[in-house]
Amino acid sequence: MARRRKRNFIGGAVLLIAAMLYSALYGAPAKDTPSAAQSAAPVSSSKEAAQTNVWFLDVGQGDSELIRLKSGKNILIDAGTGETAKQLPVLLKELGVTRIDLLIGTHPHEDHIGGMAEVVKNFPIGQIYMPKIPNSQVPTTAVYENLLETIEAKKLKITAAKSGMVPLEEDGCKLELFAPNRASYKDLNDYSVVAKLTCGQKSFLFAGDAESPSEQEMLKTGYDLKSDVLKCGHHGSLSSTTAAFLKAVSPTAAVISCGVNNDYGHPSKQVLSRLNKAKVTIYRTDQQGTILAQCDGKTIAFQTNQKSLVK
């Protein structure tokens, strides 16, 4: 009985410390005005400089997307799993990243933030956006606590992401947030930040792990969900990419980020069938490695079998 009380006390203390650290890190968006030398990543050609590149990184059973804008600014949405944490900064540097101007952690699950502490350690960071979770639901995992401690050590702040925000708008590109739409959900997946990137006439929707409840909220808000490319929610799980949501997005291409022969059965056969019936071209990181989408504002071209972190 005494041992149980001791364990409960320790668990409660860890939760309290995590919640305090978590609350302290959230603040107003940082005023970030880096010089051109700081923010611009190397550009290999004039063609690359004239387009936006989106890498759907193959991190196994997880999520991570790198966006390189025409200006050279870098946006990183999620950072894969703990298994690929050390390799992620290496790959980002190979892709020409010297700075992350905007870092988005869609929600605090290990398969999305597993490598984020390493990213924060290895690069100058502009702004960080993550959803604010009620103290009673703040995860006490070592991965999440390490991320918060790393952010604190670099004296950075987290902006509480929510629908209606526009973290970036420049040079014909706009990044806007469509979720989360509430302050409280039962499932951590539904706190997921959902972001739409519009570049000229083309657009990408990054759905994190948002499931049916969040999708329904986005449909009710009246946001313009229509996008050319959909990064399917929750690794193609049956809990996401519902028929109504897919109809509203109406993509021509969909990307599913998942691991080879994963234990969850992702992607769902029903979701694949739904996408096929809608005549959506499907790209999968478990089958095609890292996927690169290149957008000049009028067209989007895909390249598959780019460098993977797990193969």
- pLDDT tens for residues 34-51? 333 333 334 344 455 689
pLDDT for the residue 9: 39
The answer to whether position 35 is within a domain reads: no
Number of domains in the chain: 1
The answer to whether position 69 is within a domain reads: yes
Evaluate if residue 31 carries a pLDDT over 70: no
The answer to whether position 194 is within a domain reads: yes
The answer to whether position 311 is within a domain reads: no
pLDDT for the residue 47: 52
Evaluate if residue 10 carries a pLDDT over 60: no
The answer to whether position 34 is within a domain reads: no
pLDDT for the residue 41: 39
Query: Which residue in the block uniquely carries the two structure tokens 């490695």?
Result: 289
Helix (H) or strand (E) holding 199: strand 194-199
Model pTM score: 0.88
Strand order in the sheet with 300-306: 158-160, 125-130, 100-104, 74-77, 65-68, 52-56, 290-295, 300-306
Confidence band (pLDDT; 50, 70, 90) for 147?
Answer: very high
CATH number at residue 47: 3.60.15.10
The answer to whether position 211 is within a domain reads: yes
- pLDDT tens for residues 151-199? 999 999 999 999 999 999 998 999 999 999 999 999 999 999 999 999 9
The answer to whether position 176 is within a domain reads: yes
Parallel, antiparallel, or unpaired for β 100-104 and 125-130?
A: parallel
- pLDDT tens for residues 266-301? 999 999 999 999 999 999 999 999 999 999 999 999
pLDDT for the residue 140: 87
Which runs of E-coded beta strand occur in 19-172? 52-56, 65-68, 74-77, 100-104, 125-130, 158-160, 168-170
Parallel, antiparallel, or unpaired for β 202-206 and 194-199?
A: antiparallel
pLDDT for the residue 273: 97
Amino acid in position 183:
A
pLDDT for the residue 82: 95
The answer to whether position 217 is within a domain reads: yes
Domain with 107, as residue range(s), is 2-27+40-306
Evaluate if residue 28 carries a pLDDT over 80: no
Give me the chain's average pLDDT, please.
Answer: 89
